[in-house]
Amino acid sequence: MKNSSIIPEPSIHLVSSNDQSNISSTLEFRYSDELDMSVSSSKKLGSISILSDTSGHNQFIVSLGDRKKAGTDTFRKASASFARWSISHSTNEYRLDIDQPSILSVNSAAFSVLEGLCLGGFDFDRYKTKDIEPKKAITVHIQSKKLKDLDDAINTAMIIGSSVNLARDWIHEPANVINPQSLEDRVKAAAKEFGLSVKVIHFDELVSMGAGGLTAVGKGSKDKPRLLLVEYKGSNSETPIALVGKAITFDTGGYSLKPSDFIQGMKYDKAGGVSVLATIIAASRLKLQTNIVAVIPTAENMISSEAYRPDDILKMLSGLTVEIVSTDAEGRLILADALTYTQNVYKPRAIIDIATLTGGVKIALGTLRAGLLSNSDKMATILQKAGDITGELLWRLPMDEEYFDLIKSDEADMKNSGAREASTIVGAIFLKQFVSDDVPWAHLDIAATGEADSEKPWCGKGPNGFGVRLMLEAIRQLS
């Protein structure tokens, strides 16, 4: 598999440049109260105005919105908005002095600007054949006398941007392109490109091991389930941080079949697994000094004579038994076996799992914050702080032991689903049964935040790569 076909090329290139005299287009960021409304069309965050003079010099002014509401994410969104705008306009080169007063007015805003430029240029149009403009590369020449290590900041922003965009790109891909087999092929190719080691545990070995959750969910598909293990060695001694991501390449719901209104878009159910891969790729390229393992259970939840059924009782890799109430509560089954394997083999010092797990998280939190559930106050605090820094916001939900009563079974150790109440908490309580109390663990439910329902100035419709920057920041804080 050619890497050029699976690793998207960036649309926006950032370069450090002290001599910008030959570049006629400048980029500026201003608060709404600084905008000249005789030339500005809007004061809204991310709106763009152009000032031209007779010498051919053009000023591209991006609105930061209300000064009183500004934070680092304001600058990230503003610069991403410009990046999205720029790829459909004629200018190819811009100069940006990062020492502008508006940028200096907020701590860490400079890096957020760089990061936003690298995030905003993504677009998924691979399968369009009509009325498509040739893609062009935009170069932004960056200058600063006050930002230390400008080259390092640019490099970091571009690595993070390309990793997030890889996640977006793969999540977008339909199930006739990415299935468990082709995902394995892609993971191997990406790992080779970025110097990561890979191990794959295939279906027959999973059966022999007793991974009853993962094998049950995926056995109804001709493309059998597997467990993808990707390792990055950034340290010679410490035990790793484990990232566990659900990768259901398509979820029909199985015999608990999804209604037609909800089945479309289930190609996005691989978002967690793709995000942990993108995160470990970024960590390796940034040379983070910690060991990381990405554990990706992948399956396709299909209907066939081999598929699992409601009322089945599964024996999980941990030895616990699960009564199947709904074949559409499949993500927790594959994650449970992955969590058990991760602890048995890698003895991690911390685990973060990430998944599009429950529709209930959207009812609870809407699309602004992802659900966070954890057995560790310290882990929860680290992740919430990482969310605040990156703009990938979290809200911690409770996990009182009494919630387990909702999935008690008369015939097995537990059920895989319960009533509609507290569904996001119930999903996490199920997973908690497969995590040792001694291992700091956090579960991120991104079912509502992993994709944008509509296009925004700074982000297109569809998968947004939620979680990659968040997990990278959390790894830094855990290291």
DSSP annotation of 459: B
Could you identify the residue written with the tokens 């699960």?
322
What phi and psi values does residue 14 have, to the nearest 5 degrees? -110, 135
Contacts of 17 (CB under 8 A, 6+ apart): 95, 141, 142, 143
What's the farthest any 2 CA atoms get from each other in the chain? 81
Which tokens belong to 128?
């369009």
Quickly count: other Cβ atoms within 10 Å of residue 217's Cβ. Answer: 31
Cα gap 438→33, rounded to integer Å: 53
Phi-psi group of 446: left, alpha or beta (phi > 0 → left; psi -120 to 50 → alpha; rest → beta) = alpha
**Is the C-alpha dihedral spanning 457, 459, 461, 467 positive or negative?**
negative
| Burial (Cβ within 10 Å: 0-12, 13-18, ≥19) of residue 401 | exposed
What phi and psi values does residue 385 have, to the nearest 5 degrees? -65, -45
- Is position 332 annotated as part of the catalytic site? yes
Quickly count: other Cβ atoms within 10 Å of residue 176's Cβ. Answer: 10
What phi and psi values does residue 313 have, to the nearest 5 degrees? -120, 120
The continuous run of DSSP H or E covering 12 comes out as strand 12-16
Could you identify the residue written with the tokens 């399968």?
127
- Is position 43 annotated as part of the catalytic site? no
**Residue type at position 217:** V
Which tokens belong to 79?
């610069």
Query: CA-based angle 191:196:201, to the nearest 5?
Result: 75
Candidate list 188, 258, 349, 362, residue with the active-site label: 258
Candidate list 30, 168, 270, 332, residue with the active-site label: 332
Residue 35 DSSP SS3 = coil
- Annotated catalytic residues are 258, 332
